[in-house]
């Protein structure tokens, strides 16, 4: 197990290096200039060139890459050109809203998706199955920003019971932080719930055809016990893969939802940084997202063994 | 004697720069929705702004957002009133002008404290001037020919130029990329990078900045206010709200829904359709803010078809501003068709010189000019961006108009950053559109300079610009300016399409909301029930 873990951790190094090369190349190939974004629309070319020189942006691209990688391996992702603060600090400040949003949206997605999938499978081809699958399809089809805007209109403006936008940090007021996250988490979680429900249903249907399920029923176990103790646990492996992907997607790219709800999260930072051509932040943020994907995948793989004792890593 | 005459003439010119009708129905002559009232000190004013400023160091960026937050914290030597007259702020009075405009002596107000408790002296002002001169685009024209900036005593600064300078005062009063006064220590510590310690003399001090969340400003209780009545950004600053929060909200729908739900008190820049819906909402006030900018399309005069003046004249002849402005800004309240490069609200500077060449919409003339020019349908790359909705819509309509005259126009649509990058390369474009923000002096308009993208080079322009710069009184400088505008319409370095205004919305109980283009919330407050 330990050997497997170290192998997986070591495999992160080439993965991250490839991501670093690709993102650095793409960012520098994209037209646009961080100096121009910083100096404003009426800055002259002379001023822009001076700032480019000061920032080292006129150095050859390979030189800039080597310097960036050299710093990145020591944990220094550089300084944001636009925000004038270390990239790690800029990302760090946005971890809380994005992390909480991801957590809450995942809870909603799993909380709605798994039971919906189980109900649909256990009432296969009956009314309950159809209702659940229509809802799941709706979740998958409705864009989260559209749902978000409607939730704002309904619960933020018409019946103002929840904040329409913004964020309060946990340290300031934990309850208010939660209130600010309910609507965005629901608009994100609903779409993911649809995906999880469909996956859970399909996995459950597979499992329910197995011999051991028939045996469980034959020995007189209650239907509830058959489904939850014998069925769901076995159906969780494929569902868990989807949940893992959901977490990675939410943590790395809730860009639109964060913009609609004005949440100062990592997704919005990444989007704004692309518009401002803030190279160090784009590179740092993409690297962090890649790392996050790799770590979540690893955790999901390890969770397989925990859920299903037949899975062993050597 | 000469000096007294100059002072008198300057004062006369300032008093002559009268407003020609400012703002919407709810506008007052002091540049706010209401005036005075029973201002109740206290409360938090939450303002949703369009994005995160790159910095609030006013010396280092031309971005409007920078000073709109920054000038609550920092102050300039001069500022302007609602009718664009110039008024002292940290200076005691208007400058004493000597040696036919080569020497400006400025007396400073005494006992003005910085937020760190230190009292402002001429050492701080000289250090700030030197830093501004080194870093600010806005300083370049006004400080041309500067021989020295000195501090004869701790409450006086003196500028000495090698020729008469008529643009200094306007530049000193311009907040955008303006001469904010910082403590000398701060100028020394950050000679060429944006400052990281924000200590000013303004009515508010910065207490917290969380990027993308807010700039939190708190009333500075020791603030030394002027005594004149509030007038635009000038005069007395009451610092009514205990705290002002500037919250970056890039999405316009979110700004509006946040305002409707009471999350924000004021929201900046709404779209035309949102402006209509705010007008119909009894709990909100829709405010048209003016002047802001004029929509301008620049031509590349270094390379390509527009190096030929006749081709540029054809592009001007075909231009029909009404449909372009209507497509770009929608509601008629939000734009104005006017030939003057300086805005109607700017008194003596407004001129219709060259108007015969504006708003012609003459297809036959345009075709004839193109024929004379020998234009053979070479491709014209028109840079536009969807990042600013109006920019794209205006480009669509203008390109269509040009096609009707025989221009082979191709829209090159990209994000703003790419457009900015491309416009610096003469081989990458032929025309591009942008807003040219209002300035106190026409020589400060970005599009009038030879460094502006398009690279207008014309000896007659230089001569007239020199004359304007040499005049110390706006009313006298207005004459060569009218000639320069006429030349602009003949040489056509760019096309002015029309003036456009901004929109701002506030909840009904917010009083004294600014109606000028810029934000100044030191006298704004939320009325308590």
Pair of tokens at residue B63: 């971005």
CB contact under 8 A, A272 and B51: yes
For chain A, give the percent of residues with pLDDT over 70: 97
Pair of tokens at residue B191: 């000679």
Pair of tokens at residue B56: 């609030």
Please give the CATH number for the structural domain made up of B30-283+508-526: 3.40.190.10
B432 SS3 class: strand
- Please count the CA atoms within 13 angstroms of the CA of B148 that sit on its side-chain side: 4
Distance, CA of B151 to CA of B136 (rounded, Å) = 21
Domain boundaries, chain B: 30-283+508-526, 291-500
- Which range (A308-312, B410-414, B498-502) has the least confidence? A308-312
Closest Cα in chain B to A34: B417
CA distance B213 to chain A (A): 6
- Could you tell me where the beta strands, DSSP code E, fall in B162-283? 204-210, 214-219, 243-248, 266-268
Closest CA to B81 of B291, B288, B230: B230
CA distance B501 to chain A (A): 18
The beta-carbon neighbor of B196 closest among A39, A84, A152 is A84
Mutate: best of A28, A29, A41, partner B, most B CBs <10 A: A41
Whether the per-residue pLDDT at B81 is higher than 70: the answer is yes
The beta-carbon neighbor of B212 closest among A46, A261, A269 is A269
**pLDDT band at B36, cuts 50/70/90?**
low
Contact, B92 vs B109, CB < 8 A? yes
CB contact under 8 A, A47 and B262: no
Closest CA to A282 of A13, A77, A144: A77
**pLDDT band at B18, cuts 50/70/90?**
very low
Taking contacts as CB-CB distances below 8 angstroms, the residues of chain A near B257 are: 149, 152-153, 156-157, 164-165
CB contact under 8 A, B137 and A272: no
> What is the pLDDT averaged over residues A19-33?
84
**pLDDT band at A36, cuts 50/70/90?**
confident
Whether the per-residue pLDDT at A189 is higher than 80: the answer is yes
Contact, B84 vs B68, CB < 8 A? no
CB contact under 8 A, B263 and A259: no
Contact, A189 vs A106, CB < 8 A? yes
Mutate: best of B257, B391, B427, partner A, most A CBs <10 A: B257
ipTM over 0.85: no
| pLDDT attached to residue A314 | 59
> What is the pLDDT averaged over residues B172-180?
92
Distance, CA of B446 to CA of B439 (rounded, Å) = 9
**pLDDT band at B13, cuts 50/70/90?**
very low
Which residues contact residue A14 at a Cβ distance below 8 angstroms, ignoring those fewer than 6 apart? Answer: none
The 10s digit of each residue's pLDDT in B293-349 is: 999 999 999 999 999 999 999 999 999 999 999 999 888 889 999 999 999 988 889
Whether the per-residue pLDDT at A104 is higher than 80: the answer is yes
Distance, CA of A16 to CA of B353 (rounded, Å) = 62
Whether the per-residue pLDDT at A122 is higher than 50: the answer is yes
Q: Alpha helix locations (H) across B409-505? A: 416-423, 459-470, 474-491
Whether the per-residue pLDDT at B418 is higher than 90: the answer is no
Pair of tokens at residue B449: 């300079």
The beta-carbon neighbor of A163 closest among B63, B263, B422 is B263
Distance, CA of B268 to CA of B253 (rounded, Å) = 11
CA distance A49 to chain B (A): 10
CB contact under 8 A, A45 and B192: no
> What is the pLDDT averaged over residues A40-63?
79
DSSP strand pairing (B510-511 vs B525-526): antiparallel
Max mean pLDDT among A272-276, B18-22, B242-246 falls in B242-246
The 10s digit of each residue's pLDDT in A258-312 is: 888 999 888 889 888 888 888 899 999 888 888 888 888 888 888 877 777 777 6
CA distance A34 to chain B (A): 8
| pLDDT attached to residue B529 | 67
Residue recorded with tokens 């409607």: A150
For chain B, give the percent of residues with pLDDT over 90: 60
Mean pLDDT, chain B, rounded, equals 88
In the structure, how many helices (H) and strands (E) does chain B have? 15, 19
Could you tell me the domains of chain A? 94-307 (1.10.3720.10)
> What is the pLDDT averaged over residues B445-467?
90
CB contact under 8 A, B63 and A44: no
Q: How many CB pairs under 8 A join A and B?
A: 139
Please give the CATH number for the structural domain made up of B291-500: 3.10.105.10
Closest CA to A261 of B275, B251, B259, B50: B251
The beta-carbon neighbor of A33 closest among B253, B420, B437 is B420
CB contact under 8 A, A272 and B250: yes
Whether the per-residue pLDDT at B84 is higher than 50: the answer is yes
Taking contacts as CB-CB distances below 8 angstroms, the residues of chain A near B449 are: 44
| pLDDT attached to residue A34 | 80
Kindly report each contact of residues B385-389 with a partner whose C-beta sits within 8 Å and lies 24 or more positions away, as own/partner: B385/B413, B385/B414, B385/B415, B385/B416, B385/B418, B385/B419, B386/B413, B386/B415, B387/A275, B387/B415, B387/B416, B388/B416, B389/B271, B389/B328
**pLDDT band at A252, cuts 50/70/90?**
low
């Amino acid at each position: 197990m330990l050997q497997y873990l170290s192998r997986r951790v070591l495999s992160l190094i080439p993965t991250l290096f490839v991501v670093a090369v690709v993102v650095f190349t793409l960012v520098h190939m994209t037209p646009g200039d961080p100096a121009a974004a910083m100096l404003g629309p009426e800055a002259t070319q002379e001023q822009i060139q001076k700032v480019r020189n000061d920032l080292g942006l006129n150095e050859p691209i390979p030189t800039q890459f080597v310097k960036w990688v050299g710093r990145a391996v020591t944990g220094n992702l550089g300084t944001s050109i636009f925000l004038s603060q270390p990239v790690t600090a800029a990302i760090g400040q946005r971890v809380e809203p994005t992390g909480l949003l991801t957590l809450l949206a995942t809870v909603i997605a799993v909380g709605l998706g798994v039971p919906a999938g189980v109900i649909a499978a256990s009432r296969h081809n009956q009314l309950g199955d159809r209702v659940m699958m229509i809802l799941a399809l709706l979740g998958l089809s409705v864009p989260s920003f559209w749902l978000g805007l409607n939730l704002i209109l309904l619960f933020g403006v018409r019946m103002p019971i929840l904040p329409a936008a913004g964020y309060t940090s946990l340290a300031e007021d934990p309850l208010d932080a939660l209130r600010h996250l309910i609507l965005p988490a629901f608009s994100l979680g609903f779409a993911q719930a649809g995906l999880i429900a469909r996956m859970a249903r399909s996995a459950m249907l597979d499992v329910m055809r197995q011999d051991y399920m028939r045996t469980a029923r034959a020995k007189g176990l209650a239907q509830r016990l058959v489904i939850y103790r014998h069925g769901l646990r076995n159906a969780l492996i494929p569902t868990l893969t989807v949940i893992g992907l959901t977490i990675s997607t939410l943590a790395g790219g809730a860009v639109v939802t964060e913009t609609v709800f004005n949440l100062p999260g990592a997704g919005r930072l990444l989007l704004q940084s692309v518009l401002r051509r803030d190279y160090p932040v784009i590179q740092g943020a993409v690297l962090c997202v890649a790392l996050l994907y790799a770590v979540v995948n690893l955790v999901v793989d390890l969770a397989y063994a925990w859920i299903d004792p037949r899975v062993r890593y050597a | 004697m000469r000096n007294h005459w100059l002072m008198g003439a300057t004062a006369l010119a300032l008093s002559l720069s009268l407003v020609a009708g400012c703002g919407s129905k709810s506008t007052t002559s002091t540049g706010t929705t209401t005036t005075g009232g029973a201002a109740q000190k206290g409360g938090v004013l939450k303002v949703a702004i369009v994005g995160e400023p790159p910095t609030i160091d006013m010396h280092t960026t031309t971005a409007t957002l920078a000073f709109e937050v920054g000038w609550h914290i920092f102050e300039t030597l001069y500022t302007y009133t609602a009718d664009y007259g110039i008024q002292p702020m940290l200076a005691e009075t208007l400058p004493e002008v000597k040696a036919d405009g080569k020497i400006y002596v400025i007396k400073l107000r005494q006992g003005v404290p910085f937020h760190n408790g230190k009292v402002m002296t001429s050492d701080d002002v000289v250090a700030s001037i030197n830093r501004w001169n080194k870093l600010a685009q806005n300083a370049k024209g006004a400080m041309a020919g500067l021989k020295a900036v000195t501090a004869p005593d701790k409450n006086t600064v003196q500028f000495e130029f090698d020729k008469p300078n008529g643009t200094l005062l306007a530049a000193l009063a311009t907040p955008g990329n303006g001469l904010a006064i910082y403590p000398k220590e701060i100028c020394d510590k950050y000679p060429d990078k944006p400052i990281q310690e924000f200590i000013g003399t303004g009515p508010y001090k910065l207490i917290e900045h969380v990027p993308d969340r807010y700039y939190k400003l708190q009333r500075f209780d020791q603030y030394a206010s002027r005594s004149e009545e509030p007038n635009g950004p000038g005069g007395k600053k009451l610092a009514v709200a205990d705290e002002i929060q500037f919250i970056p909200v890039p999405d316009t729908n979110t700004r509006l829904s946040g305002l409707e739900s009471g999350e924000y008190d004021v929201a900046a820049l709404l779209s035309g359709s949102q402006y209509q819906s705010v007008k119909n909402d009894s709990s909100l006030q829709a405010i048209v803010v003016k002047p802001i900018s004029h929509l301008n399309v620049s031509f590349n005069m270094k390379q390509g078809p527009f190096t030929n003046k006749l081709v540029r004249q054809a592009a001007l002849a075909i231009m029909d501003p009404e449909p372009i402005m209507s497509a770009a800004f929608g509601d008629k309240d939000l734009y104005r068709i006017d030939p003057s490069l300086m805005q109607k609200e700017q008194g003596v500077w407004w001129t219709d010189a060259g108007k015969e060449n504006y708003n012609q919409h003459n297809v036959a003339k345009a075709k004839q000019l193109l024929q004379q020019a020998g234009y053979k349908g070479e491709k014209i790359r028109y840079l536009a961006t969807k990042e600013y909705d109006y920019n794209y819509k205006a480009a669509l309509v203008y390109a269509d108009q040009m096609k009707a005259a025989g221009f082979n126009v191709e829209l090159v649509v990209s994000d703003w950053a790419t457009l900015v990058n491309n416009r610096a390369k003469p081989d990458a474009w032929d025309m591009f559109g942008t807003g040219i923000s209002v300035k106190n002096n026409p020589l400060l308009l970005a599009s009038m300079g030879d460094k502006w993208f398009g690279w207008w080079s014309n000896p007659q322009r230089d001569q007239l610009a020199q004359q304007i710069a040499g005049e110390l009184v706006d009313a006298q400088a207005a004459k060569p300016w009218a000639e320069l505008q006429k030349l602009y319409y003949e040489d056509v370095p760019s096309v002015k399409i029309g003036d456009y205004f901004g929109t701002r919305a506030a909840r009904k109980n917010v009083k004294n909301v600014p109606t000028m283009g810029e934000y100044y919330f030191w006298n704004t407050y939320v009325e308590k029930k």
